[in-house]
């Protein structure tokens, strides 16, 4: 019998398995499809912070997670020999005239809140690093905290590291009758949790994205009005993503991808002739609290919930996996405010 069984091989399940295995646990990961088959198998991979204002425990937790992400993914790569595509190259955001004063105020707050680790800088658009873009005011924000990774390569890197550590990854969806079990099963898991507890704990939100062929491996990502443009190390650029509460087919792309592409090419002239490689659609787990849910599954002894990554799953998984391992392996509750399942 495994010391720990993790149901679901998305980034939450795989990251927790890696942390637990590094701590000496015998880990089994069970996945009914394939590792990264759900929302963790997307294209974008933007690891970006909340704006530096109105600070709260959730924003502080995300800052700590982003600050430690480089070391985590370097360990994963060294352990399994597969590059997850991580790089902290920052992010550029074009500004409209009415946002300039707010951007300067945030720059001042970032000096304190980001503790000198990273900066939020307002600069002329022509001085910004990376891809040239259209900025209505001629000014942009460049933050140096944002990072990127390649979601599919990151999952593959975790799988390789787990194999090196002797963890087992198996096909299936039936947990063992005994032992500690962590449920990291995405939006379907949120639906099951809601049904079991008799109240809405979260739901799935569909997202669509696409991939272009254009080499800018050292360029920072671009973000404008919900649109992410993320250059990857392999000579591709990801464009995403939609947020759809209502949908018929969770895996089907449609004209909303066309709209994303039009916006990206209008914003970034270098992409106007970049060939399209592929499109992706999937459903991300969004908790009602908008923060990931971690904790004991009420009424199920030795069962735990680790879910609700939504748009920040890859950014938060390393740090939250350490907290989850504390709880599951050692019985120590170090869950920060706003993340614990019982408080949601």
Please report which confidence band the pLDDT of residue 223 belongs to, taking 50, 70 and 90 as the band edges: very high
Q: What is the pLDDT of residues 130-155, one digit of tens each?
A: 999 999 999 999 999 999 999 999 99
> What DSSP character marks residue 244?
B
pLDDT of residue 58: 87
Tell me the pTM. 0.96
Helix%, strand%, coil% for the chain, nearest 5: 35, 25, 40
d(CA 306, CA 304): 7
- With 60 as the cut, is the pLDDT of residue 1 above it? no
What is the Cα 270 distance to its own chain's centre? 26
pLDDT bucket at 289, cuts 50 / 70 / 90: confident
Tell me the CATH number for domain 89-146+204-283.
3.30.9.10
pLDDT at residue 234 greater than cutoff 80: yes
Give SS3 for 311: helix
Q: Tokens for 313?
A: 């799953």
CATH superfamily of the domain spanning 4-51+58-81+150-202+288-343:
FAD/NAD(P)-binding domain (3.50.50.60)
Start and end residues for every CATH 3.50.50.60 domain found in the chain: 4-51+58-81+150-202+288-343
Task: State pLDDT tens for residues 238-280.
Answer: 999 999 999 999 999 999 999 999 999 999 999 999 999 999 9
Q: pLDDT grade, residue 344 (50/70/90)? A: very low
Looking at the chain, which residues constitute the CATH 3.30.9.10 domain(s)?
89-146+204-283
pLDDT-derived band at 2, boundaries 50, 70, 90:
low
């Amino acid at each position: 019998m495994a010391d720990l069984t993790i149901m679901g091989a998305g980034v939450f399940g795989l990251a927790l398995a890696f942390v637990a295995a590094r701590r000496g646990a015998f880990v089994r990961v069970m996945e009914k499809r394939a590792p990264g088959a759900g929302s963790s198998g997307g294209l974008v991979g933007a690891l970006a912070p909340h704006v530096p204002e109105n600070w709260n425990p959730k924003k502080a937790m995300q800052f700590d997670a982003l600050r430690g992400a480089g070391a985590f993914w370097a360990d994963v790569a060294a352990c399994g020999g597969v590059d997850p595509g991580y790089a902290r190259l920052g992010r550029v955001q074009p500004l409209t005239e009415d946002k300039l004063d707010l951007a300067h105020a945030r720059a001042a707050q970032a000096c304190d809140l980001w503790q000198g680790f990273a900066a939020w800088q307002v600069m002329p658009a022509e001085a910004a690093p990376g891809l040239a873009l259209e900025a209505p005011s001629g000014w942009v924000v460049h933050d140096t905290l944002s990072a990127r990774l390649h979601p599919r390569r990151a999952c593959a890197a975790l799988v390789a590291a787990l194999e090196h550590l002797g963890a087992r990854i198996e096909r299936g969806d039936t947990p063992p009758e005994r032992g500690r079990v962590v449920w990291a099963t995405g939006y379907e898991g949120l639906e099951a949790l809601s049904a079991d507890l008799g109240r809405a704990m979260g739901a799935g939100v569909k997202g669509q994205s696409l991939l272009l062929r254009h080499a800018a491996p050292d360029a920072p990502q671009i973000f404008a009005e919900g649109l992410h443009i993320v250059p990857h190390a392999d000579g591709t650029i990801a464009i995403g993503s939609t947020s759809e509460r209502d949908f018929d087919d969770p895996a089907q792309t449609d004209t909303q991808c066309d709209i994303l592409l039009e916006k990206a090419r209008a914003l970034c002239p270098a992409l106007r002739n970049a060939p399209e490689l592929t499109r992706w659609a999937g459903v991300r787990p969004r908790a009602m609290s908008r923060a990931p849910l971690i904790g004991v599954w009420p009424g199920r002894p030795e069962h735990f919930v680790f879910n609700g990554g939504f748009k920040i799953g890859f950014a938060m998984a390393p740090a939250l996996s350490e907290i989850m391992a504390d709880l599951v392996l050692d019985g120590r509750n170090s869950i920060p405010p706003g993340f614990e399942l019982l408080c949601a």
